[in-house]
C-alpha cells in the first residue's frame, strides 16, 4: 500500500504529453494548485456542491477548457466514463497489492481503448468528472482529443451539476465505465435512467469498485454493479468493441 494518495507515475501511464507538477498534469491549472491538492486528498463527501467563490472560478475555467475541445455527439454509441482517474488521483493509499495490480490493468485497458482511434461515427466518449479531478489530470484526455464532451459532476458524487447536459444522449446506446460501482457510477446511472430510452450497458473491464470497501476492485463480466440490474447489463471490453465496430 502506498503512503501517498495519488499515483506519482500517472502521467507516464496515460502515455500523453503533459507539463505540470504531479498530481496536476497541466500547468494551465497550477494557479489553483493548493485548492486542487487539498480536495484530491480529502474526497470525503462532506458536501455535494461547489459553493465557494474559488470553486466557482475554477469551475468556470474548467468549463471553458472543456468547451474549447468539445466535439459533436454524432454516433449512436456513447461510452460514458465516470471519474475514470479517481482512484489514481485520490485513493492509491487505500489499495493493497492485488487491487493496485487490478487498478493498473484497468488503466492500461482504458488508455488502449481511448487511443485506439475508433471512428467518431462508431463511438463518442463522454466524461463525467469532478471539478478537481478534471483540473488535476483528466483535462489531458480532453486536450488530446480522446474525449468528445465533458459533463461536470457534483463535488464527490456522480450526479451531474447540470442534468440537462446529458439530455442529448437520450436516444443513444449508452455504455459506462469508471468508478466506483455502488457509488458515483450508480449516481450517473440513476440519472441516465430518468433520461435514456434504451438499456444501459456497463463495460466490466472499465469499471472499478472502491478499494475502501473491497479487497479486489475488479468487476467480473456478470457481476451486478447497480441496483437497477433489471434495466442494465454488463459486457466485456472485447465484446463491446466488436459490437460497436460491426458494419
> Which letter does DSSP use for residue 143 in this model?
H
Q: What is the pLDDT of residue 152?
A: 97
| Contacts of 176 by beta carbon, 8 Å cutoff, 6+ apart | 79, 80, 81, 82, 185, 188, 189, 200, 201, 202, 203, 207
Q: What is the pLDDT of residue 217?
A: 87
Instruction: Report the candidate in 28, 78, 75 with the shortest Cα–Cα distance to residue 201.
Output: 78
Pick the CATH number of 10-244 from 1.20.58, 1.20.1630, 3.10.105, 3.40.50: 3.40.50
Most confident of 26-30, 34-38, 74-78, 155-159: 74-78
**pLDDT tier, 3 (very low <50, low <70, confident <90, very high otherwise):** confident
| Contacts of 10 by beta carbon, 8 Å cutoff, 6+ apart | 22, 23, 25, 85, 88, 89, 137
The pLDDT tens digits for 195-212 are 987 888 999 999 999 998
The three cell numbers locating residue 60: 468556470
**pLDDT tier, 63 (very low <50, low <70, confident <90, very high otherwise):** very high
User: Residue holding cell 494548485?
Assistant: 33
Q: What's the whole-number mean pLDDT along residues 99-127?
A: 96
Work out the percent of the chain whose per-residue pLDDT is above 70.
92
Domain ranges of the chain: 10-244
**pLDDT tier, 17 (very low <50, low <70, confident <90, very high otherwise):** confident
The pLDDT tens digits for 155-196 are 889 999 999 999 999 999 999 999 899 899 999 998 998 898
Decide if pLDDT at 20 tops 60.
yes
Work out the percent of the chain whose per-residue pLDDT is above 90.
71
**pLDDT tier, 229 (very low <50, low <70, confident <90, very high otherwise):** very low
Q: Which residue has the higher pLDDT, 160 or 227?
A: 160
Decide if pLDDT at 220 tops 80.
no
Q: What is the pLDDT of residue 219?
A: 81
Decide if pLDDT at 230 tops 60.
no
CA torsion angle for 185, 166, 134, 89 (degrees, to 10)? 10
Q: What's the whole-number mean pLDDT along residues 102-107?
A: 96
Determine how many CB atoms are found less than 10 A away from the CB of residue 21. Answer: 11
pTM: 0.94
The pLDDT tens digits for 126-145 are 999 999 999 999 999 999 99
Amino acid at each position: 500500500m502506498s503512503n501517498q494518495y495519488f499515483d506519482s507515475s500517472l502521467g507516464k501511464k496515460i502515455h500523453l504529453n503533459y507539463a505540470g507538477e504531479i498530481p496536476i498534469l497541466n500547468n494551465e491549472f497550477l494557479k489553483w494548485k493548493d485548492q486542487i491538492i487539498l480536495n484530491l486528498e480529502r474526497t470525503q463527501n462532506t458536501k455535494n456542491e461547489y459553493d465557494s467563490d474559488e470553486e466557482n472560478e475554477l469551475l468556470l475555467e474548467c468549463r471553458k477548457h472543456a468547451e474549447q475541445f468539445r466535439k459533436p455527439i454524432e454516433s449512436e454509441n456513447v461510452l460514458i466514463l465516470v471519474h475514470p482517474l479517481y482512484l489514481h488521483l485520490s485513493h492509491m493509499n487505500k489499495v493493497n497489492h492485488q487491487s493496485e495490480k487490478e487498478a493498473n490493468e484497468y488503466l492500461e485497458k482504458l488508455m488502449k481503448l481511448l487511443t485506439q482511434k475508433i471512428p467518431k461515427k462508431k463511438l463518442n466518449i463522454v466524461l463525467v468528472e469532478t471539478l478537481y479531478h478534471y483540473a488535476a489530470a483528466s483535462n489531458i484526455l480532453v486536450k488530446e482529443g480522446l474525449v468528445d464532451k465533458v459533463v461536470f459532476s457534483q463535488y464527490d458524487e456522480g450526479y451531474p451539476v447540470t442534468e440537462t447536459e446529458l439530455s442529448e444522449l437520450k436516444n443513444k446506446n449508452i455504455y459506462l465505465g469508471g468508478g466506483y460501482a455502488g457509488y458515483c457510477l450508480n449516481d450517473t446511472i440513476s440519472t441516465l435512467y430518468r433520461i435514456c430510452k434504451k438499456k444501459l450497458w456497463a463495460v466490466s473491464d472499465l469499471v472499478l469498485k472502491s478499494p475502501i470497501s473491497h479487497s479486489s476492485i475488479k468487476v467480473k463480466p456478470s457481476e451486478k454493479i447497480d441496483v437497477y440490474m433489471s434495466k442494465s447489463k454488463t459486457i466485456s471490453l472485447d465484446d463491446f468493441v466488436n459490437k460497436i465496430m460491426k458494419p
